[in-house]
Chains A and B, each alone.
Chain A
Amino acid sequence: AQSVAQPEDQVNVAEGNPLTVKCTYSVSGNPYLFWYVQYPNRGLQFLLKYITGDNLVKGSYGFEAEFNKSQTSFHLKKPSALVSDSALYFCAVRDDSNYQLIWGAGTKLIIKP
């Protein structure tokens, strides 16, 4: 069965510091991995995705994520956090035989000035 785990309910980072939001996954086939961000009272916004190839993918707003097949992880990263990055972040996965996206429970990212 497919599953996604975001082990941290909340991550606190000081502005200007690097940030990491963790995600691990389980799928039976080849994984397609996604990160979305949700601001209060707004819809989910696509940040980036991993399909194949380079394990480091770059996305919107300076975010990047690193795919690690052996650890089945897809952690979201940013070198220097901004207060405006504070939001709810979701990791999602599907494999190449499914249409459904399976979602993690989300991680609340708080960036303090």
Chain B
Amino acid sequence: GAGVSQTPSNKVTEKGKYVELRCDPISGHTALYWYRQSLGQGPEFLIYFQGTGAADDSGLPNDRFFAVRPEGSVSTLKIQRTERGDSAVYLCASSLIGGGATEAFFGQGTRLTVV
């Protein structure tokens, strides 16, 4: 596609529910990143995929968070037993290759609100 696409753009869920956030990266980009951004802060790294595998998941805050990228393209971030503190904008980015000097291209984000 022309850019990174994230769905939904907004998600309101009740505390304790399960949510899935979807990211469709730029076609041909092998690297995919998930970040989380809270109000007034810069993005916080969650997980990095190179192809289908999670090359670095050190940013996932706890085991309620999980992400997959089964075919090396679309990725889904899954959050179990949501808490109010999970409320944030979840950003997905992709790049041609991972790391180094390669810039990443971001989607518009999914604003998650846990009530």
Contact = CB atoms under 8 A, between A and B. Distances in A.
Contact size class for B? Answer: 20 to 34
B98 A99 contact: yes
A90 B33 CA distance: 17
Nearest to B99: A99
Interface in A36-60: 36, 41-46, 49, 51
Interface residues of A, number: 25
B106 A98 contact: no
B106 A43 contact: yes
Interface in B53-105: 55-56, 58-59, 91, 93, 98-101, 103-105
Interface of B: 4, 31, 33, 40-45, 48, 55-56, 58-59, 91, 93, 98-101, 103-109
